[in-house]
Structure 1
Amino acid sequence: MISLGASRFSHWTYATLFLIFDIVGVSILQWAVTISSSRVALSSPLIGLWGFISTMWTDLRFVFILNLIVLGLIYGILLFLTNRFWIASPIFIIICVVLGIIEHMKVISRYETVLPSDMDFLHSDAGTVATFIPAGSQWIILWAIIALLALVGLCIFVNHMDLRRGRIFDGQNRALTATFRVCGILVTGLIFALFSGSVGTVGTWANTTSKFMGDIPSMWDSVYDAQRNGTLIAFLRQLNPKVMEEPDGYSQATMKRIAKRYEAEADSINETRKNYQNDSSVVYILSESFSDPTRVPGLSIDQDPMPKIRAIKQKTTSGLMLSSGYGGGTANLEFQALTGMSMANFDSSLTSPYQQLIPSLSWTPSVNQSWSSKNSVAFHPYESSMYSRSTVYKKFGFSNFYTLEKPDIIKYQDKLDSSPYVSDESAYKSALEEMQATTSNQFVQIVTMQNHMPYNNWYANNQFHVAATSGSESLGSDESLAIDTYAKGMSYTDSSTQELLDSLNKLSKPVTVVFYGDHLPGIYTTAGADSSNAIALHETDYFIWSNKASQSYDNKIANSTYTSPNFFSAQSAEHMNAKVSPYTAFLTDMHSKISAMEPPVVNKIQGWDRIPEGQTIYLDSAGNPMDARSFDAKTKQLVRDYQLIQYDITAGKHYLEDTDFMTTPTAKSDAAKAAAKQLAEEKAAAKKQSAAAVSPSASPSESKATANTSSGQ
């Protein structure tokens, strides 16, 4: 115990104070992400420090203890390094306060936690760092400085009261003391490094321990994830995720061969295609939770909630999309649609490419890049920070991202009855006005929110009623209410989507729309209990449609009955009869062999854990599951090439970046190639003609012999 007079502090005193300081450190980091905001109530519940601690007895989740242990390792390194408790402790608290203030400022200004990719600001300009600082933060900084000065002063005072002067090791044998300290640094440092480097990798001891302690990754909302699982653990989980295993044979030579193979394939495809993708506007619409509820096994709805979209699907390229999500995982479907990559190729540890992968990549090819950056715009009537979209869209090259937040605020924000979400009609109107304001062709990304869970009887005069089909298990009252509400929302989407297409038909510029539902809502409890419904509960609706100003109006391509979002760029190019890049040519070939592919799925909301066991789900053109072991040689090669291509882009050495593998032909580029080819041919012809003129037709001796013969005759 500390007395009024000087005394020699015991190791038990240091241990007690160590625990207290460690708790203070964790509390500071949790304060940093605990903010009160109206948006939090919509996305995720607010979890304060007490809620974080109380889960130990309410939910038997011990993530508070886990964060104490991991943060304690950092504290321990400082103690072994300095061998002075009253030096290491204030340094430890200062580090926590500085990191906490940075975290808090980013959460306040962007509603997003600090990500590993944000560490780049340490060697960036001051303007980048300044974006973390919201107005009025000087008071937080001032009070923090005052508190830290008081703490340092207190530690100096207590250090004088402590006859040990805070020495953890104060033996007479200096060599032994040094050995203990070095061993302590190495052991604590190694444990921390191993944990930090593998906690995000499924199957490792760190990941298993983290889950055992109650870690439940919730990366759709980085702030909620930090509140729920601890700021430190939420950060470390994203520090070193395992992306992919390196495929056998990966090398620069291998990637060159692949590039040449699909350059030839692209040349073959482009011989029969007349159009260019960026000579038209393309609109990708991710319709939140859109899927036909009448297809759900065991359900009967008294009215059709989507007659207009059903009619649209009959007239154009359309079908069912195999989704890797159920009740969640929106950004993963969006990622696949925009990049052409498949979640099936990633390691199961990579649960969210938007958070774990894209921010740290230097090369991020995406479908919108066939248009200029200024003509790539996105709309999402919700928070820009969700799934780190604001960061990801900048990487992809979108010039503007219109949301409910600054700097680009979406214009229309109307809601339906008591729904907390902006209607699809408002999202469509905002995007439509942007398209009407320019004659330029654009790539427009729309991610709606209207049909987001939960479904709490939001709509007045709801005429939809669900029931179990004959012979099926009856539905619970909560399940029925949720499905009824969802069906009404689907009806609103049905009408507003038809109105959008009618408006696009009035435009004089060509427009193609790729519309798809990301996943089914997680409300089908009864159907989900039957494992035989696995694929049915992971099939949503999609269509590709072109307006009357397009040459592809009323087109309907073959092999469209089943697909997955990674094939949308290839399908839309085929629908538009547009020329393709070697990459899109590859995806076209792939889709001809495998209509849809996704990682293993289950009939429940998976949260953010991928399923490491089981094979990838492959569907043929009739929607039947395919066994990878029975693939023919061509299909096996395509699957292997896909893994090599995706590895090179995401985890490899980017050999393809210096090639034209991702370059989509344009009228301008083809004209330049044609001119260059013609010039080369003209130069070759001129060189040949010049060589013929300089070379004599016969040698002098031959000429003389000819002359003599002639005179003799």
Structure 2
Amino acid sequence: MPTMVAVCVKEGAGTDPMVQDMSESTGMADIEELDIKRAQPRTKRRHKPFPGWLYAVLFLVFDFAAVAILQWGVTMSSTRVELSSPLVGLGDLIVKMFTKANFVLVLNMILVGVIYMVLLMLINRFWIATPVLLAVAIVIAVIEHFKIGIRYEAILPSDLGFLGSNTGNLMSFVPAGWQWVVLGAVAVFAAIVALCVGLNRIDARHGRMIRTANPGMAAAVRLLLILCPALFLGVYTMHVGTVGSWANVFSSALGDIPSMWDSVYDAQRNGPVVAFVRQLNPKVMDEPEGYSEETMREVAARYADAADAMNETRSEYLDESTVIFVLNESFSDPSRVPGIELNQEATPEVDAIREQTTGGLMLSSGYGGGTANLEYMSLTGMSMANFNSSLTSPYQQLVPSQRWTPSVNQMWGDAENSLGFHPYEPSMYSRATNYRKFGFSHFYTLEGDDVIAHRDTIDKSPYVSDAATYRSVLDEVGSTDANQFISVITMQNHMPYNDWYSDNEFTVTNTDGAEPLGEDETREIETYAKGVSLSDKATAEFLDELDAIDKPITVVFYGDHLPGIYSTAGEDQNNSLALHLTDYFIWSNKASSSQGTKNENSDYTSPNYFIAQAAEHMNAKVSPFLAFLTQMHEHVSAMEPPVVNNIQGWSRIPEGQPIYLDADGNPMVESEMDAATRQLLEDYKLIQYDVTAGDGYLKDLGFMDAPER
């Protein structure tokens, strides 16, 4: 504007000279000032460094973001509705801090925060370390999302093997439409990078964490802030799987409640970081006194001699018959529960079979749960009584990382001779993974490559019936002349018991003098009794069908545990043993030379003895290990870790003597046992330690090998 005025004044005619002089002088001054300003360089806007308190706030924000991303990986990908495992998301972790004083979210943030701190000190740039942390969280969450979508199984420590020679198998986790998930993850990461770049521009400190004029001092501080968190994480990881350790107590105090029957639910409920780290270093067993290669050679020789002596009087071989292990979910006779009375018998068929063949009562380590532990003992001959109390679930904490996994089915040779049937999710208790490791060629379930053939349910029950499961087994047994080992885990009588059956003739009352039953307890017991009655009939019909097959077949049938519905009886600790006894029998068909055989000392047992009892029932020759189990059963009829009346949890009793029963079902006190029995118990611990946690000396000594023909 001054220029325009100056030009106008200069060009105008007849203008007053005074006005003209004033205009010219003003305009020229403005022009000169403007030119000076234009000639001067522009000064950048100066930003201030972020204060320390803001870095602390941002640290917590990004720490929470990493945990939220990881929680998304185990939550958003679950499409299955699990009756006993409701979906648990990030919101649930937040809410239960205020409603239940459960701070497992904080525990996850502590563990991720420790890793975050190490990254910060290694890189020494907040705005670089942060996207690196979140990138790792995104990658893990996407892989978890894919794995759960394909297998309904969270990332487990055993999956670390994929980072080595099995990297190519990672593609087995990739479902259809994976590109969209990856693109979404890339978009989220791009947004994170853009945010960090922007914040870095306005932070005059540019994220430098340690700033000092003394380089040596800076290096020392950074090293200290790397070593201390890393040491904490390492020690925590080493001890969190051990009951009673500071790390285990710390986790429990903040709300970690292991739920390892379902790895996805466990990760949802307790956070994927906590659920993963808890399984990295479980305490399997304490090393027995005197354990060495020389000691194990002596043990192997002792029971090789015992096997030779037994085999002189036995003429058959286990793999010359088809052997079927049937774990019938929650099967037991309700009439044995103290304080209740049914209007009619629920298990007359199984009761009659138990009287005609080898059979009796099985001591169970579970009540209302713990199925896979009973299954593990029956398939391996190992006992939960020997494990450290920190090992609550061998299927999750032991088998996936075990280098040597001998199991009874391996005596049938090639994997094609070993089959598994379970009309439910293959990922529960990591069964699909473990059955492959045991050497089963097929594991028939409701999902995956091997879908079970028959999936009928009864009335309103959501579970596949026992009759349908048995039909699937019969289809396989009848389709080949080969002898097989078959493991069957039924689901019909799994909890809950919500009045499933339309025509239920069972009623239950309390016995004279006993506490009256509640309405819910009554309904559950009556529903359960009807289900067990249906299983009883289906089992008898199954055996009739096997009787008609012209090849030798032996069935080992057992209930894994009682259902957790007897709340009134459970209030009395004197009922503990009664609430841990289920039914079992070993039966052979007409084509077997052992039909109608009844072993001595068969009134009581535990599942670790089943294969040795089956060999005795079938008059079959034994390996040194089966010879040991045979002798062990002669001295201690049943054994389990300490048990309680509460529904099975995932924190075993850390102290107390295991439960030992004699041939009459009476508890045995270890300090009062004779020398031979104590020697057997010591040998059992040595054998089990060598196989599960030791150096595996017995592997090359033929201890588990079936006898040669």
Matched, 1:370 2:419: no
Q: Which residue of 2 aligns with 1:710?
A: none
Match 1:593 to one of 635, 638, 662: 635
Gaps of at least 5 residues in structure 2 are 1-44
The answer to whether the 8 A contact 1:164-1:170 is kept is no
Q: 1:320 maps to what in 2? A: 361
| In 2, Cα distance between equivalents of 1:529 and 1:110 | 39
User: AA paired with 2:200?
Assistant: N
| Residue 566 (structure 2) aligns with | 524
CA offset at residue 452 of structure 1? 0.3
**Separation in structure 1 between the aligned mates of residue 705 and residue 402 of structure 2, nearest angstrom:** 19
The one-letter code of the counterpart of 2:177 is G
Distance 1:489 1:35, change over 3 A: farther
The question of 1:488 aligning with 2:530 is answered yes
Q: Deviations over 1:638-667 (max 9, x none)?
A: 0000000000000000000001110112xx
Q: How far, CA to CA, are the matches of 2:648 and 2:675 in structure 1? A: 34
The Cα of 1:16 is off from its aligned counterpart by 0.8
CA contact (8 A) 1:43 1:221 kept: no
What corresponds to 1:426 in structure 2?
Answer: 468
Residues 527-580 of structure 1 deviation map (CA, whole Å, 9 limit, x = unaligned): 000000111100000000000000000100100000000000110000000000
Q: Which residue of 2 aligns with 1:175?
A: 216
Aligned residue number for residue 203 of structure 1 = 244
**Does 2:128 correspond to 1:87?**
yes
| Distance (Å, rounded) in 1 between the aligned partners of 2:380 and 2:305 | 22
Q: Deviations over 1:465-491 (max 9, x none)?
A: 111000000000000000000000001
Task: Please tell me whether the aligned partners of residues 25 and 96 of structure 1 are also in contact (alpha carbons under 8 angstroms).
Answer: yes
Q: Contact 1:46 / 1:224 at 8 angstroms: preserved in 2?
A: yes
SS in 1 for 2:110: helix
The answer to whether the aligner puts 1:603 opposite 2:641 as a matched pair is no
**Deviation per CA, 1:474-512, whole angstroms, max 9, x where unpaired?**
000000000000000001001100110000000000000
Question: How far apart in 1 are the matches of 2:588 and 2:501?
Answer: 32
Structure showing greater Rg: 2
2:584 alignment partner, SS class: strand
Q: Percent identity?
A: 59
The one-letter code of the counterpart of 1:474 is P
In the other structure, the counterpart of 2:660 is: 618
Equivalent residue letter for 2:253: F
Amino acid at match of 1:640: E
Cα distance in 2 for residues equivalent to 1:377 and 1:38: 28
Match for residue 634 of structure 1 among 657, 676, 687: 676
Alpha-carbon offset, residue 42 of structure 1: 2.7
Structure 1 equivalent of residue 581 of structure 2? 539
Letter in 1 for 2:336: R
SS of structure 1 residue aligned to 2:173: coil
Contact residue 547 and residue 591 of structure 2 kept, 8 A: yes
Deviates more, 1:50-59 or 1:436-445: 50-59
Structure 2 matches for 1:58-457, cutoff 5 A? 58-372=99-413, 373-457=415-499
In structure 1, runs of 5+ residues without a counterpart are 671-713
Contact 2:85–2:265 (8 Å) recurs in 1: yes
The 2-side partners of 1:577 and 1:82 are apart by 68
What does residue 470 of structure 1 align with?
A: 512
- Greater CA drift, 494-503 or 172-181: 172-181
**Alpha-carbon offset, residue 135 of structure 1:** 1.4
Work out the CA distance in 2 between the residues paired with 1:132 and 1:565: 35
Query: Following TM superposition, by how much is the alpha carbon of 1:349 offset from its aligned partner in structure 2, in angstroms?
Result: 0.5
Size of the aligned set, in residue pairs, is: 665
Offset of residue 288 of structure 1: 0.3
Letter aligned with residue 281 of structure 2? N
Structure 1: distance between partners of 2:218 and 2:59: 20
> Aligned residue for 2:543?
501
Normalization by structure 2: what TM-score? 0.93
Counterpart position of 1:564: 606
Letter in 2 for 1:212: A
- Mapped to 2, the partners of 1:446 and 1:168 lie a distance apart of 59
Which residue is equivalent to 1:685? none
Q: Secondary structure at the match of 2:148?
A: helix
- Report what 2:42 is aligned to: none
What's 1:39 paired with?
A: 80
Residue 52 (structure 2) pairs with residue 21 (structure 1): no
Structure 1: distance between partners of 2:479 and 2:84: 32
Tell me by how many angstroms 1:35 deviates: 3.6
Query: How far does residue 48 in structure 1 lie from its aligned partner after superposition?
Result: 1.4
Q: Separation in 2 of the partners of 1:5 and 1:365?
A: 70
Q: Deviations over 1:377-409 (max 9, x none)?
A: 000000000000001000100000000001000
Whole-Å separation in 1 of the counterparts to 2:700 and 2:109 = 46
Instruction: Return the offset for 1:36.
Output: 6.0
- Aligned with 2:80: secondary structure? helix
Matched, 1:656 2:698: yes
Structure 2 distance, partners of 1:149, 1:628, is: 64
Q: Secondary structure at 1:255's aligned position in 2?
A: helix
Structure 1 position 646 matched with structure 2 position 688: yes
Name the SS of the counterpart of 2:361 in structure 1. Answer: strand
Offset of residue 6 of structure 1: 2.3
Q: Which residue of 2 aligns with 1:51?
A: 92
Q: Secondary structure at the match of 1:479?
A: helix
Distance 2:229 2:691 in 1: 35
Which amino acid in 1 is paired with 2:551?
K
Shift of 1:38: 5.6
Q: Distance in 2 between matches of 1:66 and 1:148?
A: 25
Rounded to whole Å, the distance in 1 between the matches of 2:304 and 2:189 is 62
Going from structure 1 to structure 2, the CA distance change for 1:458 and 1:37 (only over 3 Å counts) comes to farther
Distance 2:510 2:471 in 1: 37
The CA distance in 1 between the partners of 2:252 and 2:389, in whole Å, is 15
* TM-aligned CA distance change 1:5 to 1:322, over 3 Å: farther
Runs of 4+ in 1 over 4 A off after TM superposition: none
Shift in Å, 1:37 = 4.8
Distance in 1, matches of 2:95 and 2:165, equals 40
Higher mean C-alpha deviation, range 134-143 or range 270-279: 134-143
Equivalent residues of 1:42, 1:420 under 8 A apart: no
1:189-248 Cα shifts (integer Å, max 9, x gaps): 111111122111111111001001111100000000000001000000100001000001
Aligned partners of 1:11 and 1:168 also within 8 Å = no
